[in-house]
Every structure is written in structure tokens, then in C-alpha cells.
Amino acid sequence: MSSPTSTPGRRKRNRDDIPATPKSTRRRGQDSSNGDLPAMPTSPATDIASPAVHDTSLFSSPRRSVLPSEVDMSSPLMYGTPSSRVEARQRPDLGSIRKAPQVDLHSEPPSADGAVASEQALGQKLVIWGTDVNVGTCKEKFQRFLQRFIDPTSNEDENAGLDLNEPLYMQKLEEISVVGEPVLNVNCSHVQSFDADLYRQLISYPQEVIPTFDMAVNELFFERFPDSILEHQIQVRPYNALKTRNMRSLNPEDIDQMITISGMVIRTSQLIPEMQEAFFQCQVCAFSTRVEVDRGRIAEPAVCRNCNTTHSLALIHNRSAFSDKQMIKVQESPDDMPAGQTPHTTIVYAHNDLVDKVQPGDRINITGIYRAVPMRENPRQSNVKSVYKTHIDVIHFRKTDEKRLHGLDEDSDQKLFTEERVQILKELASKPDVYDRLSSALAPSIYEHEDIKKGILLQLFGGTRKDFSQTGRGNFRAEVNILLCGDPGTSKSQLLQYVFNLVPRGQYTSGKGSSAVGLTAYVMKDPETKQLVLQTGALVLSDNGICCIDEFDKMSDSTRSVLHEVMEQQTLSIAKAGIICQLNARTSVLAAANPVESQWNPKKTTIENIQLPHTLLSRFDLIFLMLDPQDEAYDRRLAHHLVALYYQSEEQIEEEFLDMAVLKDYIAYARTYINPRLNEEASQALIEAYVDMRKIGSGRGMVSAYPRQLESLIRLAEAHAKVRFSDKVETIDVEEAKRLQREALKQSATDPRTGFVDISILTTGMSATARKRKEEVAQALKKMIQSKGKTPAMKYQQLFDDLRGQSEAAITKDMFEEALRALADEDYLTVTGKTVRLL
Amino acid sequence: MPSSHDWINKPLGVVEAMFAQSNSNPEWEAKVLEYFKGQLKEKESHSWVPSLNDVPLHYLKPNSLVKFRCLVQDMFDPEFYMGVYETVDPSTKANVLRCGKYKDVTECGVDLNSRNTVTAERQTFYCVPIPGESPWAKEISFLSAARVVPSTSYVPSRQKRSYEEDDDDMDTQPQKQREPHTEPHGNGDSKRQETEAPSSQTTTPSDCSSHLDLNFPLPGERGPACLVKVYEGLDSFKLNDTLEIYGILSVNPVLTVLGEEKDPSLLLLNPTESMETPEEQRAHDPPASLVPRLHMLYARPLQHNNPLLPSAPTEDQSAFVSSFLVEMASVRAELLAYLTHVLLGDGLAAEYLLLHLISDVYTRRDVLPLGKFTLNLSGCPLNSYTERLYQIVQQLVPCSYRLSMSLHTMNSMRLVPKKDYVANRLVSGALQLARNTSLFLDETQLEQGQLDSSGVRNITALGNLISWQKVDYDFSYHQMEFPCNINVLVTSEGRSLLPSDCQVPLQPQVTPPNMEEYLTTIHMAQFTSQINKFRVYLSLARTLDYSISDEVTKAVEDDFVDMRKDDPQSVTAEDLHRMLVVARLLSLSLGQTTLSRDGWMRAKHIDMLRRSRTEQQKSLNGNEP
């Protein structure tokens, strides 16, 4: 990791943040006592009186020698204590200055006062003032943790390649020694499971505990790898503190504690050089002194100690020490928000190498220390605004969407379910009619259409992801795509809206309004940084979710062509403004299309009705027709349903809302935790089903099923197994998948002329019989023309009438024209205006 | 009229007294709220509290109790403040505990290191007066407030004005009232500009960006905006709620001085200051003289903002309702006659307009809003007829806005609120409206031409609003959906390009030679008392409960089945949806709270009439709404 070194001056090399031994502690106390006077509270909630101020003079002894020499850094001569060999970089993320043990950055209720430890550590029982942290014990505990912690069930990607049965963090230390990146990320939940008390201390007193951890790690590290050379000392970066998950739940009690929140970056500032140490020089005698910046303030020495001139010291910027800092604004992620409120934002400060790690638009998990600073904007005023400014000092960033470009990110949107919730869900899953229950809970305001709802339900669950990329076949699509077509006003849009509202990563777009660009991705120039940014469109945004596309038929051809890739390969290729990339778009598509003639024509095939290319249609697993069934019983139930919908009592409404929440969780749980696989019987059943489908057609001399049908059958069966929370796909799943597919085909692929289900309507755009008929007409026409003998040109109308007279079946103008076109393709004739010429 | 109301004049004194008694027992906070709630419950007491809506800011006493009828336009981030702090008296060195609640600024000599400091959390809402509030509603609420002398130094002296004058320029009314002496109009103008910056800026929206944009949803709005500090029940408030807030007014000039004159060297060192952009400062800490702070003690969600109706659901409201129910039918007949005149003698259109005016999204079933009734009045005569029609609607409803859908406005206007991340606030748009606002979309103004991308977005937003009663606010990285409840009336020449629940082609029975004159005459013929009755009627009919008995349910079902039997195409589920809404509104308009068989038949009947009309001139546009 290259640290940004754009700030003037070398970074400080003192060892302030490592209270290594009592000895060093005391020295530090002398060094830095100058900063205590203004005593701005770091913790407004608590008291901050500084009992440990022994030396009240503003500038006690000059800081240990002058500049920390470069020798400090890697000289093998300096091996004594671990902290002396390698530069300990200051950690501004833990507070602008640290005076560890004697500082009261955290005070407990008054009772803790008794436990005050002086900075002269007198023994192991001493604790850091205001906390219950004993440096020695804490260090020991953490070292034990590092040496012993094993997490055999870990599935974090960061641990990839590590032996799960060996102490995890020791392996990581080894990695550090090899890679040379002196940062150790520690998962707080590991600490918690290892030592709950240590975890509590870490969360409550991060400012004191983390330096102790640093110290422990470094001791351990240099014991193990005495020869390794690091840029600076290893820094411990804890993450995944369970204290707080949601920005909204931050409250005054969290101040100065370690928290983890999730959110989206909305703004990042320019790099801010923050002064860490001010360098003053006397203009009379050139005596120089250094003053550490304490919480944003410099105590400017009024008198030169060398020549006793007053007000002679001037700040020399070039020789002061600065560190990098960046302000980042983070907004609550939309999923965490209660309805009807605006998202909250929080200010986050990133320091040193964390600067420029995130970009606006990134979704991140932040672990850091929550701070509150009182506002005293005008020092001349005695009464202050009684408001604190809050921010978070980042310790660790974790992008939650960064893996979207690379692979699966199931753990990122892992929802936490409470025990009881899981129990409720499992109970529900064990009910024999869970499938029907769930499908009826789906969009209860929409009447009937049971099979469509079941189809959508299976879509919500999705199939199992299979990765065959090693054998060269790439990923198999696990998402189920569904197309709804039908008369206007059959609540298709409503169904889409419902689904869009149900799934966390849903996108809703209308074919009329969306362009190819809006669906895929576009390049935007960031107004602030002038940097080109790839903005993702609806399809990419609904990765792992559902993209609902209304008015599918109104979409322009170019836009639709984008979908070809998405719906089978599940990726999006972009070549724009010099950016060439392939984004994952593992999205299920739920589309709705209206018939071209505004009313569904039952005499026509699906393709003819909606005028969509068959190449696209064949990518839909299920195509449903939402037609208005016209029978009395249906009407009656519909009327009853609608009237009830309008005048249902409050409680019933309440009940349904509960259902929606349960449904949401149920789906989320199944999607995360259930990965069903085919068992032997099910595989057999699938094979049989496929062979059967093929057989139907072969009897009539046509292909009635394609491998795509088999694939979607598998997906549907897997989804159905997920509905049951079953890890195995069994025969019943296959049966239901078959039934559903048959139903959908019956609706959409029935040849209106013959009444047979004909898959080729969807795969080639024309039914087999229609193709046959077309050929017959063309042949009859050809024969007729031939029988007429040598006539180079014929009247169009004449020919049409003749053909009609000759043929037994009724010949429409369309059919005639089609026949002409077919013959023209054979180069047999050519049509110019109203005349037909033979060639 | 008791004038020595300390709880109005010095509410902070009350708060502090309670705090002092409490001995840091946290229960005192609840007690304070109890106390003020109790005081406000007393008969008429809430009318003693001066209103920010009516009284100009500089007449209000700082730190007194005021009320504000407003819409929550934006919610800022929560802030931490010193709930309890300690001050040190420099002379005696004595420590005193003080309460920081309901205050912006602390007392002198705060001991920042005291261990007794308690940090508490509050949130700031940016509130604006209810957008599109009709002039008459402002006027009446002002007058009713004037009946009892508010306990401020300000005594409204505008009784001299007559109603007639208000008609032509009611918008400026609140400004005129601010002048202590009723001066001639001309003189007032220049003075106003000097003294009343918040109102003068709204007249010319172009220059408001130059100094301070008060972020009103509708252009040309005026009135005070307010930063409301909310202490309790943060979760119960939602964006776009209309509230009547009782709180302590804070206009401490310190708030203004802070933030200015900043030492640039301090900027470098103090981390808290460098992170706020100037825009953000301007949006979040505007000068208190322009945007006062209000520390909320009590807030009442408003079901309506009709000042003619008792606002609180108390006994006198139910008494009021039952007394009005008696004459409901007769008022309805009069109103219908009036609207028929206005709609050039078209009784059916008048009936539908009446139903539209009392419609309300009363509940939502999953994504489906129930009760919405968007009316498309097609075949409107051109030449300012729609404008006059809007003025008449405006006279009847407490909140309304006319959006002239000209190509230019559609392309340039911001309808959807958008989050401005630089200033960290929600920049309002014309669709950020309070519940039950009448949105009058004038499509007759639309001409042929090219809609640009923002125009398309605006049209899409209007379509979404009508179909789903929601507006997708633009948060730049994502959209956020906010449900709304807006009555949309579309006037157009042909069928509207926007979806609608119901289209009524206007069939004028009379063709007055001079439209303006005709409408003005109709309008003038109504007495104020009559118009007031209409106003009460429309607001009241909306709030009535409604149900359907099992028996009628059965009848409706049978009817539907029968209709489908003859011709399945003639009646669809969509039609049934609409007829159920029509039946509901029709019953409510007659003051009936259950659907009767007759009511259903009537609903069916007028829907048949309407459909036969639309069939005559069915356009080819067969797109699904």
C-alpha cells in the first residue's frame, strides 16, 4: 500500500501512540502535557477534567531530541523493543493526540475515579484513567487471541487461501511479513467469540485499546519475523463491530465508542493536510520548538525559552508535520430507512492511507470512532451554540459492492435474522402448503392469476447458482425471467410495482422512458473532481435483484438488444468513453407487454400479438398471458374481491402487512441460506420430462423442446425447492416446475390455428403449421403461375383473385403477400408496384 | 381575555422552573410536555398563541410561545446538544446546573468539562407554510386569530379592509397586514422591501438564489420558513406532514453572527468548520431574522387546513359535523348548481367535479392507492377559461396549485424534489405538496414541440403521481418513493396525455359571448356565507367514514356479473374499481356513510352517462394508463 505523501513535511516519527512500557509512558507524559489546558471535551457526555496534568507549562522539555532521525526506522541496531525499530506512524484515526494512560478520554460514572491510575504504572492492577483497561492484561489477551483464534467455519473472502484450522491471525501476520503491508484487519466478532470482555473493552474504549493492540501485534510480529522490514509499525484495524448497524440508531451514548455502520458515500472532499505538530522558530535567536496540535488547536508559545523574548516565535509551515485527512459524507442506505423520512448523513474522516479509498456512490461499511465536538465558532463569544458537531474517525472501510465487478457478494447483503425470526420462517416452511400460502400472500390486491403469482414467487427465489467456468462453460443463469403479456388494464403494472416494492434490489423502469443507456451504464463527469465516473443503470443496479420493465413492447429495438446479453449471459459489456468493461447484471427480468392492437387477439400467436423478436422471447423462462377470463363464476369472485379490497377493515389490512414483511424475510432467508441441489430421482424426472417434451413434437415432425426449456425447468425446480427450504431438489419440485411451464406454454405457445402447444412459436417466431401453410400457399401460387404459361408480367390483383378462386382454403391478402415474398426470395419473380414479373 | 399568560409569554421560565424542581430527575421533560399540552387543551387557549403564519416575525416576542401551521419540507440530520450543562459564575465560582433544552445558545461561562453535562439528541425540520394555501384560508385563519388579542405587542389593525379588495390580490394580504398603519398601497411597497426580506424575495424567484433561497415547493410562495427543533417522537413525523407546531420562538441574533466573520486561519485548524460548505451553512444556519428557530413543545398533525372547520377532533367537532350533516344534501344541491353554471351548464361534469373535489386516498393496499379519483375534464374551451375555472376551484378548497403545462414549464420547471448534496438539503419541487392539495394541471397550455429529458422526467413524474399517488424524489444515487395524496384535475382539449381515473368530456350547454364576464358574474353572485358553506362541505365530506354492508356487497357483485354476462367487454375490473370509488364519493357527498342500493344504482347511472359521452369521441390512443 503506498501511502499518500503529498503533504509537506515528513510524517511524525514519535512513538506517542504506543504506550509500550511504563517508562515510555512517563516520558510521553512530560512531552505532551502542553496540550491539556484548553481541555475541550472529546466526550461531551462525560466529564473531562484532566487530573493527570502535572506539568502545566505550555512547553515543557523539547520533544525528545529534534527530528526523529531516519535511523530510527529500520536500523538493525535498534532492535531493543519492537516499537523502536520500526517507525510507528501516528494514528490520527484514534484521536488527534494520544496521551494514553494518563488521559481521561473516557470517563465512567464517578465510581471509576477510584480506579485512576497514575501514569507511573505501579503494577498490573492499574488501568488507564477513566476506563477499566489494564494495558498489560489487555495486551496479553490480544496476543493470546492472535495466537489461538481459529475459525473453521469462516467463509470470508479475505481468508481465502488460509488454512482454516490454523490460527487465523498468525497466518495473516505471516502474510504481512511477506507482502509488507503493515495493516492487520481484525474481525470484531472473532474477538467477541474469543473473549467477550476484551471485545467490550475494544468497543467502549477504542482509543486506548487499539494502541494496546498495536503494541501487542508488533511485539508478536517482530518476535516471529525479526528480519522483516515494514514501512511503519503494524496497525490494527478492527472491523465489523456489532455495536451499531444503522446510522439512524446512533445516539449520544455511542460517542467515543467504536461503531460499524453501513451507508453510501455521497461526497468526498479534497485532501486536507492536517497539522500534527507545529514547528516554531524564534526570530530573535533562531531557537526552535515543536508544539503538538491538540484537537485542532495549537498552543502558541508566547515566550522564547532560550532568549526570553516575548512573541518572537513564528510558525514555520515547511517544518511542521502534517497528516492526510479527507472528509467523506456518508448517507444512510435506502434499505435501512423508515418510509416517509429523508435519509440521514454522517460526516466521516479518513486519515492517511484511508484517504481516497472510497468514491461517491460506493456502498461501504465503516468502522470507526464516533466523535462529538462542541461548536465554538467565534472564540470572542462567551456563550456557545449548544450544539455538537459529530463525525466518525474511520478505522476501517469495507466496500459492500466492490465485488459486484468480480463475483458473488452474498455475504454483503446478508441480512441478520434473529433466532425467533428464523424459527418463524422455518415453521412456515415446514407447512405442507407453504407454496400456496406464499403465492397467495403475493400481491393480495391482485385477483387470482394463481399461476402467474406462483411463477413470480419462483422468480423471487431464483435457482441455484452454478459455476462451470472452470470447465469453460461459464456461469449458468440462475435467475428466472418472466414476461407477462395481456390486455391493458389487467393489473400487470400493479404486479410489477408490487414486486419492485418487495425486493430489496428491485428496479422499476418503463420501456417507454428508458434508453439503452439508462438500462446499462453511462459515463458521467463528476462536477467536482472532473473525473469520469461510470454510472450504472437499472440493469446493473438490480444485480442480484429483479428488474421490472413495464411497457416492454414500447422499448426501442436498440434498448431491447441490450437485454439479449443480460438475459442469458448475465453480464453487460460496456465500451464507452474509453471505458471498456463487463459488469455483472445477474438480474431477473420481469417484463410486461401490451398487445400491439391494444386488445389481445386470440386468433394470433403471442409473437404476432406483441411483436417482439423471438430471440428475446425465448430467453424468458415463463411467458404468461394475463387475459380477462370471461365466465360468471370468475366475475363473481372478482367482484367480491374488489369490493372487499375497498372496504376491508383496518385489522385485516394490518394482517396483510405483516404477511408482506414475513414474505420479504422468507425470501431473503431462502436466497441467502438455501442452495438446493438435484438429487438422483429429480434428475431422472427432469430427463424424462425433457424427453417427453421432445417426443410430443417428433410425432408431428417438429421440435417441441429445446435445451433452454430444460434449463429453465431445472431453475424452476430449484426455486421450488428453495420455497420449501429444502437442500435437495426432489421429484415434487420437478413436478411443479413441469406443471408451471406447461401452464405458461399452454397460454403463450398455443398455436391458435391448430390448438396445439407449439414451442416453435416462441423460439422461431412462427408455429410449425403456419410455416407449413406458408410453404403450401407459395407452392400453389408457383404452380398456378407456371400453369399460365409464359406470361412475363401479371396484374397483382388478378393473380390474387385467381389464387383465391383456385384454393380451397380461404386465402387472405397477407398470406398472398407472404407467398409472393417467398417466391421473390427464390428469385422466381419480382413485385414492382401492382405488377408481378417473372424472372 | 387574560393577558398574564406566562406560559405564552415566557415559556422558558416555565421550563426552567420545572427543571429546577426536578433535581435532575429525567421525568421533568415529560412533565413540561404535559403542562403545555394541558394548557393548550383549554378552551380557546390555542387561539391566544400568536401564529407565525399571521403575525410578522418582528412583532413576535423572542422566546415566547408561538404556533406555526406548516409542512415539513426537509429533515436535517439529528444533532447533539447540551441537554444539561453547568455554568461557573466568574465572581462567586459557584456552579449552577442549567437546562439546554429548547434553547439554541447556552448561557455565559459554560464549564465544558463538567461531569454533569448531559448530551441529548434533537432533530431539525425545515418547515415551510403549507404550499398552495388558498388566500381565503389564510385570511380567515388570520381573522379568527385576531378575534382574541394575541399576547404580543402586535395588534392586528386590518379590520378596515373589506373582502372585496382581497379578491384581486389576496396573495399579498399577509404583507399588508404587517404594516402597522393601513397605508396606501403604493407606499407600502418600498417599505416592505426594506423591512421584510423573507417575503420580498419570493415575488421574484430569480433573485432569491442570490441571497437566500427559502426553498418553497411552489414558485411565488411567501411566508416565513422555520427551522423547527424537535425533541420528542422523532419517528412519528414524516416528510410532507402538515403540522400545527407550538413552540418557543428563538431569534437570537447570535445565531446569525456565528458563521460570519470567520478567521481564515482558524478554518485550517478547526476541523469542524472546514467541512461545511458555504452552501450548507446557508441552508442549515440561515440568519435567524429570516428563518427563525422554533423549539417544538407540542405538535398537532393537521387533517386539513380549513380554518372554517374545528381542527381538533374534540366534542365540538362531532357536534359540528352532526349539525352540518343535516344540511349536507341542500348544500350539495347548491354547490352542484353553482358548479354547473361554472362548467357552462354541464350538469354531469359538475357532478364529477364535485366528486373529485372530495376524493381522498383513504388507504393503500400494497402498492395500490384506494380512493384516488383523478378527473380529466376534456373539451375545455380555450382562452383563459381554465384559468378562471382554477380561480373558482381555489375559492373552494383550502390548498391548490395550478400547473400550466406549457412546453416551457414542463421543460424547465422542477417538479420532483431533489437532494442537493452540496448544501445537504432537499431542494423542493412543485410536487412536494401537502395532503389533499388540489393540483390543477392545465393541459390546454401545452403546445406541440420537443420535450427535453427533464420534460420527459416531469411528465413521467406526473404520470406516477396520478397512477400510484407517489413521487420518486431524486436522491441522485437512488430514488426514494414518497407516497402522497393529491387530487389531480387535468383540463385538456382532447383526451389528456396523462393517465386519469375518469375522463369527462365537457359539453357546454351555453356559449356565453364573453367568458370572463360570465364567470365573474357567477362568482360574484355567491355570497361569502354561501361560499363558506361550500368550503366546509367539501372539507367535511372528505373526512366522513364509510362502509358497505354485506347485503349491498352482494348486490354489487350480482350487478357486476350481470353486466358482464351481456357483454364481457363492456365492463372490466377497471370499471368496477372506478364505479366503487364513484359510489363511495357519491354517498359521502350526500352525507351518507354507508352505500345504499340506490347509491350504487346512481353511481352506475352517472358512469353510464359519462361512458356514453366518451364513446362518442373516443380517441385512438389506447394505451394503458
Q: How far apart are CA A436 and CA A439, in angstroms?
A: 5
User: By the 8 A CB rule, do B46 and B63 touch?
Assistant: no
Residue A177 has pLDDT above 70, yes or no: yes
Q: How far apart are CA B533 and CA A458, in angstroms?
A: 56
* pLDDT score, position A431: 76
Query: What is the rounded average pLDDT for all residues in chain A?
Result: 70
Contact list in A for residue B624 (CB cut-off 8 A) is 488-489, 492-493, 594
Nearest residue to B329 via CA among B133, B490, B541, B99: B541
User: By the 8 A CB rule, do B607 and B582 touch?
Assistant: yes
Residue B266 has pLDDT above 70, yes or no: no
Query: Taking the alpha carbons of A233, A234, A239, A244 in that order, is the dihedral positive or negative?
Result: negative
User: By the 8 A CB rule, do B401 and B438 touch?
Assistant: yes
Residues B342-349 have a mean pLDDT of 88
A349 touches B at CB < 8 Å: yes
Residue A92 has pLDDT above 70, yes or no: no
Nearest residue to B511 via CA among B334, B346, B347, B377: B346
Contact list in B for residue A639 (CB cut-off 8 A) is 556-557, 560-561, 576
Query: Taking the alpha carbons of B306, B307, B308, B310 in that order, is the dihedral positive or negative?
Result: positive
Cell digits of residue B68: 406555526
Residues A396-423 have a mean pLDDT of 56
Residues B572-588 have a mean pLDDT of 85
Contact list in B for residue A497 (CB cut-off 8 A) is 367, 468
In which band, very low, low, confident or very high, does the pLDDT at B24 lie, cut at 50, 70 and 90?
A: low
Sequence-separated (6 or more) residues with CB below 8 Å from residue B138: B53, B54, B170, B173, B174
| pLDDT tens per residue across span B175-234 | 434 334 433 343 333 333 333 333 333 333 333 333 567 788 888 777 788 999 998 888
| pLDDT tens per residue across span B347-401 | 899 999 999 998 888 887 777 788 889 999 888 887 788 888 898 889 889 889 9
* pLDDT score, position B191: 37
Query: Which of B23-37, B371-385, B608-622 is the least confident region?
Result: B608-622
User: By the 8 A CB rule, do A48 and A42 touch?
Assistant: yes
Comparing CB atoms, the residue among B108, B269, B476 nearest residue A382 is B108
Query: Which of A432-436, A439-443, B268-272, B607-611 is the least confident region?
Result: B268-272
| pLDDT tens per residue across span A530-575 | 666 666 667 766 667 788 888 877 777 777 777 777 777 777 776 6
Pairwise CB contact (< 8 Å): A643 & B77: no
Query: What is the rounded average pLDDT for all residues in chain B?
Result: 77
Specify the pairing of strand A321-331 against strand A466-468. Answer: unpaired
Contact list in B for residue A374 (CB cut-off 8 A) is 82, 112
DSSP string, B353-370: HHHHHT----EEETTEEE
Sequence-separated (6 or more) residues with CB below 8 Å from residue B525: none
Gyration radius of chain A over CA positions = 36
A229 touches B at CB < 8 Å: no
A392, A646, A657, best to mutate vs chain B, most B CBs in 10 Å:
A646
User: By the 8 A CB rule, do A443 and B368 touch?
Assistant: no
Question: Hey, what amino acid is at A562?
Answer: V
Pairwise CB contact (< 8 Å): A342 & B271: no
* pLDDT score, position A68: 37
Q: How far apart are CA B494 and CA B80, in angstroms?
A: 56
Comparing CB atoms, the residue among A48, A340, A382 nearest residue B109 is A382
Q: How far apart are CA B279 and CA B266, in angstroms?
A: 19
∠ CA B34-B37-B38, nearest 5°, is 80
- The pLDDT > 90 percentage for chain A reads 0
Residues A271-276 have a mean pLDDT of 81
Residue A155 has pLDDT above 80, yes or no: no
Cell digits of residue A195: 473473549
Unique residue bearing C-alpha cell 456565528:
B258
Query: What three-state secondary structure class fits B488?
Result: strand
In which band, very low, low, confident or very high, does the pLDDT at A442 lie, cut at 50, 70 and 90?
A: confident
The residues with which B294 forms a beta bridge, in sequence order, are B228, B249
Unique residue bearing C-alpha cell 417575503:
B199
Residue B168 has pLDDT above 80, yes or no: no
Question: Hey, what amino acid is at A739?
Answer: R
| pLDDT tens per residue across span A493-514 | 778 888 887 777 677 777 666 6
**Phi, psi angle pair for A245, to nearest 5°:** -110, -25
* pLDDT score, position A528: 55
Specify the pairing of strand B363-365 against strand B293-301. Answer: unpaired
| pLDDT tens per residue across span A297-322 | 777 788 887 787 777 888 888 888 88
Q: How far apart are CA B189 and CA A362, in angstroms?
A: 51
Q: How far apart are CA A751 and CA A294, in angstroms?
A: 82
User: By the 8 A CB rule, do B331 and B268 touch?
Assistant: no
Half-sphere CA count of B411, side-chain side, radius 13 A: 10
Query: What three-state secondary structure class fits A180?
Result: coil
* pLDDT score, position A474: 59
Chain A residue with CA closest to B622: the answer is: A598
Cell digits of residue A316: 514555520
User: By the 8 A CB rule, do A273 and A325 touch?
Assistant: yes
Question: Hey, what amino acid is at A779?
Answer: Q
Alpha helices in A195-294 (DSSP H): 196-204, 206-224
Torsion of CA A517, A521, A526, A532, to 10 degrees: -110
A510 touches B at CB < 8 Å: yes
Q: How far apart are CA B374 and CA A329, in angstroms?
A: 41
- The separation between CA A237 and the C-alpha centre of its own chain, rounded to angstroms, equals 22
| pLDDT tens per residue across span A6-57 | 334 333 333 333 333 333 333 333 333 333 333 334 434 333 333 333 433 3
Sequence-separated (6 or more) residues with CB below 8 Å from residue A581: A405, A534, A573, A574
- The pLDDT > 70 percentage for chain A reads 64
pTM of the model: 0.73
Chain B residue with CA closest to A372: the answer is: B80
Pairwise CB contact (< 8 Å): B112 & A40: yes
Contact list in A for residue B480 (CB cut-off 8 A) is 334, 337, 342-343
Distance from the Cα of A104 to chain B's closest Cα (Å) equals 11
* pLDDT score, position A667: 80
- The separation between CA B324 and the C-alpha centre of its own chain, rounded to angstroms, equals 25
Q: Which is more confident, A539 or A518?
A: A539
Q: Which segments within A283-374 are labelled E, that is strand?
A: 288-292, 313-315, 321-331, 345-351, 363-374
User: By the 8 A CB rule, do B541 and B589 touch?
Assistant: yes
In which band, very low, low, confident or very high, does the pLDDT at A653 lie, cut at 50, 70 and 90?
A: low
Q: Which segments within B397-529 are labelled E, that is strand?
A: 400-404, 418-420, 425-427, 437-442, 470-474, 479-483, 486-491, 502-505
Q: How far apart are CA A130 and CA A105, in angstroms?
A: 7
> How does DSSP classify residue B243?
E
Q: How far apart are CA A204 and CA A109, in angstroms?
A: 13
Question: Hey, what amino acid is at B594?
Answer: T
| pLDDT tens per residue across span A184-207 | 888 888 888 888 888 888 888 888
Distance from the Cα of A497 to chain B's closest Cα (Å) equals 7
Comparing CB atoms, the residue among B115, B366, B623 nearest residue A445 is B366
| pLDDT tens per residue across span B458-512 | 888 898 899 888 888 888 777 788 888 999 999 988 888 888 888 888 888 887 7
Unique residue bearing C-alpha cell 432537499:
B426
Helix/strand/coil percent split, chain B, to 5: 45, 20, 40
| pLDDT tens per residue across span A691-710 | 887 776 665 555 566 777 78
Cell digits of residue A112: 471509576
Cell digits of residue A560: 431491447
Residue B540 has pLDDT above 80, yes or no: yes
Half-sphere CA count of A393, side-chain side, radius 13 A: 25
Q: Which segments within A551-698 are labelled E, that is strand?
A: 571-576, 579-584, 588-593, 622-626, 677-678
Q: Which is more confident, A156 or A174?
A: A174
Q: How far apart are CA A202 and CA A580, in angstroms?
A: 44
Comparing CB atoms, the residue among B103, B268, B368 nearest residue A386 is B103
How many angstroms separate the Cα of A815 from the Cα of each of A612, A793, A800, A819? 20, 21, 10, 6
Alpha helices in A184-308 (DSSP H): 188-194, 196-204, 206-224
Rounded to a whole number of angstroms, the distance between the first and last alpha carbons of chain B is 57
Pairwise CB contact (< 8 Å): B269 & A45: no
DSSP string, A146-161: HHH---TT---GGGTT
**Phi, psi angle pair for B452, to nearest 5°:** -90, -175
Residues A788-798 have a mean pLDDT of 73
* pLDDT score, position A763: 60
Highest mean pLDDT among A376-390, A448-462, A515-529, B208-222: A448-462
Contact list in A for residue B117 (CB cut-off 8 A) is 41, 44-47
User: By the 8 A CB rule, do B425 and B215 touch?
Assistant: yes
Distance from the Cα of A340 to chain B's closest Cα (Å) equals 5
Residues A229-245 have a mean pLDDT of 78
Q: How far apart are CA B561 and CA B530, in angstroms?
A: 43
Q: Which is more confident, A531 or B532?
A: B532
Residue B15 has pLDDT above 50, yes or no: yes
Sequence-separated (6 or more) residues with CB below 8 Å from residue B355: B373, B375, B582, B585, B586, B589
> How does DSSP classify residue B105?
B
Half-sphere CA count of A572, side-chain side, radius 13 A: 30
